Amino acid sequence: MDEGGLLGGKFLFKKLPDGLLDKTRVRCTICKAEFKYHRSSSSLAYHLRAKHPTESTSTGPRQSTLQEYGACGRITKNVREKVTNSLVVWIAKNCRPVSIVEDDGLREVIRAASGDECYNLPSRGTIVSRLHTLYGDQRAQQSSKLVQVRNVALTGDHWTSVNNDNYLGVMAHFIDNDWTMQSFALTVSKTEERHYAEACADHFLNVANEWKIKDKVTTLGTDSARNMVAAARLLPFEHMPCMAHILQRTVTVSLNDSAFERALAKCRKIVGHFKHSPANAQELKEQQAAHGHQTEPLVQDVPTRWNSTLEMIKRIQRNKFGLTTILTQQNSKVTMLTDQELDRLQKLEELLEPCRYVTELLGGERYVSCSMVLPALCHLFRIMEPSDDDPVYVLRFKKIFTTDLAQPRDSNNLTWLKIATALDPRFKDLKCLSKDERREVWASVHDLLMSETDAHQPSAQTTEEPSPKKSKMSICLLGSPDSDKEEEEDAIDCCLNLYKAEPKIDIGECPLQWWLKREGAHARLAPIARKYLSTPATTVPCERLFSLSGHIIQKKRASLSSDNVNRIVCLSNCAFGSVRICIEQYKIFNLFYQLSF
């Protein structure tokens, strides 16, 4: 009770003429009504509720009821729904196992965050049901996108989990009507059959039929495994071998039996000496700190891990002083590289660095990569040209490299790559090709325009109406059908000349934005450009399906059931996959492309 007042000051004691307070009489401060007061405020509270309901809510603190006490701190139904939906998105985005909702630690975290000590996580059945709904909505959106486009490129790859289960991942790539590169996973399905060519071909056909895009598929990108190449021959699609696989195979072949092998063998022993001993690894960290270097472990090269040999060399070069100190103090049987061997590795690093640039450049999925294959290979061949200053072992490496890299080019889909390069406004001068090849490419584009025109002409049997019989004179005046064909040839030549007359754009600019602005001016050529530029140069985007969250995901996928792998991985890739920023890749390519031409 406030001094001189009751119920939060709503009632005041009556003041006597001598200035004292009458403790038996009170007055309402709102309506000035007087009441008797006998040490109980219940009648006063009743007056507030009856006469002044808007003021009765702030009558001071009171003891909570049991129902009110139980509801205190409990999250509402709407908040509970948001938490459940957030859990579903988190599981899909990070490829978490559905069983994580049974984790006691996660429950305690949410209880502490929400303040609801009675909160319980949703059941596995609820999470699975929400995942199915989320996947269904996402699949419907993707299907609607595929309906609106004319051409779709596929990439596929097989993967074996730590549980020895085989999965086939297939991704779709296309350029939409706004000239934006679209890429998402169609399936990550478990396969039981042996990976014979016929079985692989059937799997790809089943995916195309399931998504109703069989007639729209233009190319199928795979690695260069024999079964995949043979499967591609059985399919009605153009085959696009993965250029990253081809390039890394060339690097591996060039390193075998090379003069660098002895130095690389010593590098592997040094890396093993520090990776297999925590004490040695700790000494390396101390030496790195003493020399002011970044703390980093050494890397062991693996033939199937791209650019791992280059990374092993670079880290040993950066830590050579610390490694020399440790190995000398330990008097270890593992010896440090000599100065001559370090010089050889430095030359090898200079040879392998451009290969890493090209591999990373061609592995993108959010920008045009197919048109960059031939210019990138041209750059590599220029880098590998013999020089008078090259030692014998470098000349040998360059010779093996260029010989091996030139061999797969005969089996690649060169026609597709050349047309894609011509339709990219950055490379349409075709400097990466000889003059004879340039003429052949433009002749191929000319034939494509003719085919495109013939395909869109209505059939004479269905559209032509019976016309009156013409006289011989009128037939002579109108001319023969050959004249119409000549006019069409002239129109196509004019279309190509108009495109070739356009100024070439800078290497850092986006070709799709160029086509978006000039689609009206090149209406005949635009559909062909959209078709050829949508094909990826590698299968790297498809292989990322199995490494969405880095190396840790390998362990987490082992705990996912095969029924949920497809939905969760596809959701993670399609709905929540991070967009790769390509402008840095263009900058990297710009650095060495200018050296090539």
> Do 449 and 524 meet the contact criterion of CB atoms below 8 Å apart?
yes
Same domain assignment for residues 18 and 96: no
Same domain assignment for residues 45 and 102: no
Same domain assignment for residues 269 and 328: yes
Closest to 222 in 3D by CA, of 244, 240, 210: 240
Same domain assignment for residues 125 and 43: no
- Mean pLDDT for each 10-residue chunk of the chain (597 residues)? 65 82 85 83 82 64 49 78 91 82 91 88 91 90 94 91 82 94 90 89 94 95 90 93 92 90 94 93 93 92 88 94 92 91 95 92 87 93 92 94 79 87 95 93 93 63 48 49 73 92 90 94 94 94 68 45 74 60 46 45
Provide the whole-model pTM.
0.78
Domain end call among 87, 111, 131: 131
Residue 413 belongs to a domain: no
Whole-angstrom distance, CA of residue 323 vs CA of residue 338: 12
Same domain assignment for residues 47 and 100: no
Same domain assignment for residues 119 and 29: no
Domain end call among 325, 359, 393: 359
pLDDT of residue 317: 94
DSSP labels, 265-302: HHHHHHHHHHHS-HHHHHHHHHHHHHTTPPP-------
- Strand locations in 371-483 (E): none
Q: Give the type of residue at 437.
A: E
Question: Which residues, other chains included, contact 565 with Cβ-Cβ below 8 Å and sequence gap of 6+?
Answer: 167, 188, 190, 557
Domain end call among 309, 327, 359: 359
Going across the sheet that includes 21-28, the strands are: 5-6, 11-15, 21-28, 34-36
Rg (CA), the chain: 37
Residue 31 belongs to a domain: yes
Residue 281 belongs to a domain: yes
Q: What's the number of domains the chain is made of?
A: 3
> Do 153 and 172 meet the contact criterion of CB atoms below 8 Å apart?
yes
Question: Which residues, other chains included, contact 15 with Cβ-Cβ below 8 Å and sequence gap of 6+?
Answer: 21, 22
Residue 28 belongs to a domain: yes
Give the number of other Cβ atoms within 10 Å of residue 43's Cβ. Answer: 12
> Do 44 and 25 meet the contact criterion of CB atoms below 8 Å apart?
no
Same domain assignment for residues 293 and 337: yes
Same domain assignment for residues 279 and 349: yes
Whole-angstrom distance, CA of residue 140 vs CA of residue 146: 10
Same domain assignment for residues 29 and 92: no
pLDDT of residue 456: 60
| 25 DSSP assignment | E
Residue 422 belongs to a domain: no
Burial state string for 4-18 with b = 16 or more CB within 10 A and e = fewer than 16: eebbeebbebeeeee
Same domain assignment for residues 264 and 344: yes
CA angle 426, 224, 371 (to 5 degrees): 5
Closest to 241 in 3D by CA, of 410, 493, 57: 410
Residue 149 belongs to a domain: no
Burial class (CB in 10 A: 0-12, 13-18, 19+), 534: buried
Same domain assignment for residues 352 and 284: yes
On the CB side of 58, CA atoms within 13 Å amount to 6
Residue 96 belongs to a domain: yes
Domain boundaries, position 326:
258-359
Whole-angstrom distance, CA of residue 243 vs CA of residue 223: 8
Same domain assignment for residues 294 and 341: yes
Instruction: For the chain, report the end-to-end CA distance as a whole number of angstroms.
Output: 91
DSSP labels, 206-256: HHHHHTT-TTTEEEEEE-S-HHHHHHHHTSSSEEEE-HHHHHHHHHHHHHT
On the CB side of 424, CA atoms within 13 Å amount to 29
Residue 336 belongs to a domain: yes
